[in-house]
Structure 1
Amino acid sequence: MAAPGRLPMPQSHLLRLARAGYEYLTRRTTLRGGPLRLWVEPTNTCNLKCPMCRTPLLAESVPKGLMSIDTFTQVIEKTKPYVREVFLFLGGEPLLNKRLPEMVAIASAAGMRTKLHTNATLMDETWSRKLLDAGLDFISFSFDGCDEATYKEFRVGGDFARTCANVRRFAELKREMGKKEPVTVVQLIERPDWDAAERRRQRDGIRQLFGGVGIN
């Protein structure tokens, strides 16, 4: 489901943005406008068991599920008069919801910028093409570790080599398809007990893994 051209930011959004900034700076406790950003959780399930994540802790108390496309459409219709950006992630892995590309396209058609965060373990070429075609504006990949040992410490259940290949292929496809967007970044968690040398090694290692393929 490809998205049509995104609408330019209308004057009403600019005024609302200025008003929100003023109310923030003046510490207003009562706001006159709706939220400018929206967080939507396509699913609250995940395929990894990362030690720092709250999702496994909520599994026993919160029912697992996928957001339906009908529910998502209703949310977008109700919020499009004032929301400018929609973040399609919260606690779960969004690629577990097969309707995700449609969600991106629907939000884009409503004039919203779409942002996504994923662990990239499921980001094969089919997924990459669907998201690129849908009109995604921003994507960040959790790739925590420049080597397999560090990666497995953070991303329990993930495959270092395959996930690295997934991220690189996404960036290559973006370039091959002539897409300027989505802005594409790789995020690295740094342990508090790492010294300066280890932090530098990890950062340099990530740059080496993904250098030259179009990561922003």
Structure 2
Amino acid sequence: MLSISKILSGQKEGGDHLRYVRGRGAVGPVVVWNSTQACNLKCAHCYANATAEPGTGEMTTAEARKFIDDLADFSVPVLLFSGGEPLLRPDFFELAQYAREKGVRPVVSTNGTLITREKAWALKETGVGYVGVSLDGLKETNDRLRGYKGAFEAALEGIRNCVAVGQRVGLRFTLTKYNFRELGAIFDLIEAEGINRACFYHLVYTGRGSRLVDYDLSAEEKRATIDLIWRRTADLLARGHRKEILTVDNHADAVYIYLKVKESDPARAEAVLSLLLATGGNRSGIAIGAVDWQGNVHPDQFTPWHTLGNVRERSFGDIWTDISNPLMAGLKNRCGLLKGRCASCRWLDVCNGNFRARAEAATGDPWASDPACYLTDQEIGI
């Protein structure tokens, strides 16, 4: 994640203690738990290939509690409940509360359509640290991408319910050719609805998202999009609106923003570069990991084809620290394995090779160049 708002303002933000630590030491990774395959929507870009019904062999409540025990023992700071739609798990609130009691901060990634006022209160009272609600455009665009008429209004109502009860909530927006022209209107919505956090995700070619490769933005469109996010964030902050605005899943953004700052405000460039170096770039297999509904452990949520072990058989900590798997060993120290433009890039300390899942999905080789990098050869030092 790259916080545009922090680079612009220097403000303290909720994820600073996790985001700006290059060496994680004794702290475990943030864990994304795809807790169920079931979902009430049919999103075109769903990385989890969610279905209408729960997946085969989903973890039971007892197994999930044991899994959370293991995460706590391994000093995992955050458990992100994802899906499918995590609120469709009947034991969601029980497990979120259990995680909080064990010292693991529960957060939620949801489509938002099921968050009534009562559920918003329950999220707050359970101690959920953050609720990320997916909105991928205005009404018609969002509903088309989500495969459900009325999804936009239901998700917006879910956001409003969270805002009303004081539950920390944010908007999640995946950038594609379908929706990037509505980005300005999304910023208007963020301001009008009092939404204090927004994450703009680059497309990763996994799950149903693999069908949308041709709908990823071009290099020129990516640059124009980051320029717009930069301008609109600066405008919000200048007018006294304290917002957290982040881009996610493309570490070329960090280099692009640094070069913008270096050109426009050289005096600030060194401080910005220090901040970016502290993030360490892509952390798949290092500071973020994933577990699916069957208990399989993956380097991140976008690499379901690489299974490192199963938490029903071994503790998460044992699996995560086992580097007998060549991919896992490589991810933890990948620079010497990278190929193509990534191997020659002068910004590896900032980017760490960008997204290996996207490189593998596009080429079959996890160490190939990330095709979503939009920096020029001159910018990366070739």
Does TM, normalized by the shorter one, top 0.5? yes
- Which AA in structure 2 matches 1:21? G
8 Å Cα contact 1:85-1:115 kept in structure 2: yes
- Which AA in structure 2 matches 1:203? F
Shift of 1:113: 1.2
Decide which moves more: 162-171 or 95-104. 162-171
**SS of equivalent to 2:174:** coil
Aligned match of 1:4? none
Moved over 4 A (4+): 213-216
Equivalent runs, 1:162-201 vs 2, <5 Å: 162-174=154-166, 182-192=167-177, 198-201=182-185
| Paired positions, count | 176
Aligned match of 1:21? 23
1: distance between equivalents of 2:135 and 2:178?
Answer: 19
Residues 154 and 68 (structure 1), Cα distance of their counterparts in 2 relative to 1, 3 Å cut: same
Aligned match of 1:153? 144
Aligned match of 1:9? none
Equivalent runs, 1:1-216 vs 2, <5 Å: 21=23, 35-56=28-49, 63-64=55-56, 66-82=58-74, 83-89=76-82, 91-145=83-137, 147-159=138-150, 160-174=152-166, 182-192=167-177, 198-208=182-192, 210-211=193-194
1: distance between equivalents of 2:56 and 2:164?
Answer: 34
Shift of 1:188: 2.0
- Which AA in structure 2 matches 1:45? A
Residues 36 and 141 (structure 1), Cα distance of their counterparts in 2 relative to 1, 3 Å cut: same
8 Å Cα contact 1:43-1:64 kept in structure 2: no
8 Å Cα contact 2:133-2:155 kept in structure 1: no
Residues 153 and 206 (structure 1), Cα distance of their counterparts in 2 relative to 1, 3 Å cut: farther
8 Å Cα contact 1:172-1:214 kept in structure 2: no
List runs of 5+ in structure 2 lacking aligned partners: 1-16, 198-242, 244-382
Q: Percent identity?
A: 22
List runs of 5+ in structure 1 lacking aligned partners: 1-13, 24-32, 175-181
Shift of 1:92: 0.9
8 Å Cα contact 1:43-1:65 kept in structure 2: no
Residues 68 and 199 (structure 1), Cα distance of their counterparts in 2 relative to 1, 3 Å cut: same
TM-score (norm 1): 0.69
Shift of 1:41: 2.4
Shift of 1:97: 0.6
Which digits, 9 at most, give the CA deviation of each residue in 1:72-107, with x for residues without a partner?
110111221221211111x41101112111111101
Structure with greater Cα Rg: 2
Shift of 1:158: 4.9
Residues 64 and 121 (structure 1), Cα distance of their counterparts in 2 relative to 1, 3 Å cut: farther
